[in-house]
Amino acid sequence: MRITVRFDDRVGIAQEILGVLARKGINVVAVEVDVPFVYIDAPALPTDAFHALRDEFLTVPGVASVRTTDQLPGMRRRLHLEALLSAMPDPVLLLDTEGTIVVGNAAAAAAAGTNEAGLEGLALDIYLADDDDIAPRLIEAGFRLPPREVSVRGEPYLLSCTPALAEGGEPAGGVATLQSPHRVGEQMQVLQHFRAGSFDSILGASPAIAALRKQAVRVAVLDAPLLILGETGTGKELVAHACHAASPRKEAPFLALNCAAVPESLAESELFGYAPGAFSGAQKGGKPGLLELAGGGTVFLDEIGEMSPYLQVKLLRFLNDGSFRRVGGDRELRVDVRIIGATHRDLAAMVRDGSFREDLYYRLNVLRLEVPPLRKRGDDILTLARHFMEEAANRSGRPCPALSPAARAGLLASPWPGNVRQLQNVVFRAVTMTEKSVLEPVDLELADELAGGQGADPGTPLPGHGAPVTAIWPATWDDAQAAFERELLGRLYPLFPSSRKLAARLATSHTMIANKLRRHGIPGKP
Distance CA 276, CA 282 (A): 7
CA 413 vs. chain centroid, Å, equals: 36
Distance CA 150, CA 512 (A): 75
Phi then psi dihedrals of residue 524, to 5 deg: 100, 155
Amino acid found at 190: V
What integer pLDDT is reported at residue 298 of this predicted model? 94
Within 13 Å, how many C-alpha atoms sit on residue 107's CB side? 18
Q: Kindly list the distances between the CA atom of residue 169 and the CA atoms of 144, 163, 172, 290, in Å, as whole numbers in the listed order.
A: 15, 10, 9, 40
**Which DSSP symbol is given to 100?**
B
Phi then psi dihedrals of residue 302, to 5 deg: -80, 150
- Taking 50 as the pLDDT cut, the residues of the chain under it are 450-475, 524-526
Residue-wise DSSP of 13-62:
HHHHHHHHHHHTT---SEEEEETTEEEEE-TT--GGGHHHHHHHHHTSTT
Sign of CA dihedral 487, 488, 494, 497: negative
In 3D, which of 261, 283, 281, 257 has the Cα closest to residue 270? 257
Q: Kindly list the distances between the CA atom of residue 342 and the CA atoms of 199, 264, 292, 365, in Å, as whole numbers in the listed order.
A: 17, 18, 21, 11
What integer pLDDT is reported at residue 386 of this predicted model? 94
What integer pLDDT is reported at residue 233 of this predicted model? 92
In 3D, which of 67, 21, 60 has the Cα closest to residue 44? 21
In 3D, which of 309, 380, 375, 370 has the Cα closest to residue 344? 370
**Which DSSP symbol is given to 486?**
H
Within 13 Å, how many C-alpha atoms sit on residue 336's CB side? 5
Distance CA 324, CA 118 (A): 35
Sign of CA dihedral 15, 16, 17, 18: positive
Residue-wise DSSP of 492-513:
HTTTS-SHHHHHHHTTS-HHHH
What integer pLDDT is reported at residue 410 of this predicted model? 87
- pLDDT 10s digits, 53-109: 888 889 899 989 999 888 888 888 888 888 888 888 889 998 988 888 888 888 998
Distance CA 235, CA 253 (A): 20
Q: Please, which contacts does 380-384 make with residues 24 or more away whose CB atoms are closer than 8 Å?
A: 380/203, 380/204, 380/205, 380/206, 380/209, 381/411, 381/412, 381/416, 381/423, 382/408, 382/411, 382/412, 383/203, 383/204, 383/205, 384/203, 384/204, 384/420, 384/423, 384/424
- The answer to whether the CB of 338 falls within 8 A of the CB of 295 is no
Stated pTM of the model = 0.65
Give 153's contacts (C-beta < 8 A, 6+ positions apart). 111, 112, 113, 129
